[in-house]
Amino acid sequence: MALKVPRHEMPCQDAQERAHNFDEVALGYTREMAVEEAQRCLQCKNPLCRTGCPVEVLIPDFIKKVSEEDFLGAAEVLKVKNSLPAICGRVCPQENQCESKCILGIKGEPVAIGRLERFAADYEMKHGDGTVEKVQPSGKKVAIIGAGPAGLACAGDLAKAGHAVTVFEALHVAGGVLMYGIPQFRLPKEIVQREIGNLEKLGVEILTNQVVGKVTSVDELMENGYDAVFIGTGAGLPYFMGIPGENLNGVYSANEFLTRTNLMKGYKFPEYATPVKVGKKVAVLGAGNVAMDGARTALRLGAEEVSIIYRRSREEMPARKEEAEHAEEEGVQFRLLTNPVAIHGDERGWVKSMTCLRYELGEPDASGRRSPVAISGSEFEIEVDTVIVAIGQGPNPLVTKSTPGLELNKRGNIVADPETLATSKPGVFAGGDIVTGAATVILAMGAGKKAAASIDAYLKSKN
């Protein structure tokens, strides 16, 4: 019976309309849709979906609650494993994770686990009483550096285990990439702050404006009574192409462009004082999720023509399929097998054009992706007035540089034991992008949870 009901599509704002506003694109399931979708779940005895989830959410159990219309109960089950379900339901690439393992996906469409997670979490935010159970304090103190997905997930689990947790965040709000990177139209900032508010109710203390490496250091935290430290400082150092003209006016790193727009609310300038300037013809270099976010943001800020410029083909694009499709529906163009070699400016030093080369795909490289090869003599010019560089980020060295004895790899990432996430420094753990390099929100959360479990074990062993 369950198989006959098709998977419910996500209701979305119309593409033409949403391309000009910052309101959330996906509107979320109605109660009826959620219940019907939940009823599609076969309630497997040995649920494979859970093996695809980096934080092992009790998927069939929460879906059962949804199907019984016990939405608050569903949220409670979600929160056993995931402190930030309203966020994960929105930004996880479920097609590669939980939903990729769903048995219904073999012959048809998998259960829309992400959409159901989002529905239950949103329902709880609206209708729940917001109370949390207090736990017996352990008497141990843990410092967490960085309030991004890894740090927040780690903080939540440690607080649930009774430890006194303080999070040190360099920016003026907690959330990391959830606040400065992922745009409002994909992840409303109010939702991020409400989920972080739930962590504070658990007893997590969040100190903003604290640049560890400058105002304090890992060693000082340990000296000042913290029993363990978790480093979750992410991959916040933007890479540039290293081509001529990259410092001209009109060239942004995606981090700068998105931080101005999201964190500083530049899209509401001048009501908010931070300006963000976008021209008529925008080129976004790169084809990951950050590039899609940059391109779609540029459209919403009033750009007339926005192109993604990528040296491989559509198949190799690292962005989530859904994000690339949304971008295309909104009018973003894809200039594939193309890469710039120089950016040119006018006499005032403002971007006016780019020289690009055409590429073809060669043999697969070590990672299995076909490597792009430039076609000699294929230079051509394109007119652009804004360039957004979204070719990746590396580890920010502020914390690692100020922490003697911390082993790093050659890219500057922290070396951590894959099982325990312990670093070369006793009592110091690390996880998320600072260890793996730029990856996804949910992988960072998974690492945060894993670290929390081993920090808990470490603290108990110290008794």
Partner 1 sequence: MAPSIVLLEVEAPAVAAKAEPGQFVIVRMDEKSERIPLTVMDFNREKGTITIVIQDVGYSSALINQMEEGSAFLDFVGPLGVKTEIEKYGTVVCIGGGLGIAPVHPIARALKEAGNKVISVLGSRSADLLILEDEMRAASDEIVVATNDGSMGIQGFVTDGLAHVLNRGEKVDIIWAIGPMIMMKAVCDYTRPLGIKTIVSLNPVMVDGTGMCGACRVSVGDETKFACVDGPEFDGHLVDWELAMQRLAYFKDEENRAKARLECEGGHH
Q: Using CB under 8 A as the criterion, which residues of the chain lie in contact with partner 1 when the complex forms?
A: 170-172, 180, 208-211, 214-216, 236-238, 240, 246-250, 252-253, 255-256, 259-260, 264-265, 269-275, 277, 348-349, 396-398
Nearer to partner 1, 30 or 209 (CB): 209
Tell me the CA end-to-end span of the chain in Å, nearest whole number.
55
The answer to whether 110 and 102 are in contact (CB under 8 A) is yes
Residue 404 CB, nearest distance to partner 1 (Å)? 17
Residue 413 CB, nearest distance to partner 1 (Å)? 16
Nearer to partner 1, 6 or 275 (CB): 275
What's the burial of 355, exposed, middle or buried (CB within 10 Å: 0-12/13-18/19+)?
Answer: middle
For 347-350, the CB contacts below 8 A with 24+ separation are: 348/249, 349/248, 349/249, 350/248, 350/249, 350/250, 350/385
Nearer to partner 1, 275 or 362 (CB): 275
Residue 223 CB, nearest distance to partner 1 (Å)? 14
Is the link from the previous residue into 270 a cis peptide, with omega within 30 of 0? yes
Residue 35 CB, nearest distance to partner 1 (Å)? 39
Residue 253 CB, nearest distance to partner 1 (Å)? 4
Which residue type, as a one-letter code, is found at position 346? D
User: 13 has which bridge partners?
Assistant: none
Nearer to partner 1, 246 or 329 (CB): 246
Residue 19 CB, nearest distance to partner 1 (Å)? 23
Residue 290 CB, nearest distance to partner 1 (Å)? 13
Nearer to partner 1, 7 or 194 (CB): 194
In the structure encoding, which two tokens stand for residue 429, read together?
């753990």
Nearer to partner 1, 249 or 355 (CB): 249
Nearer to partner 1, 162 or 394 (CB): 394
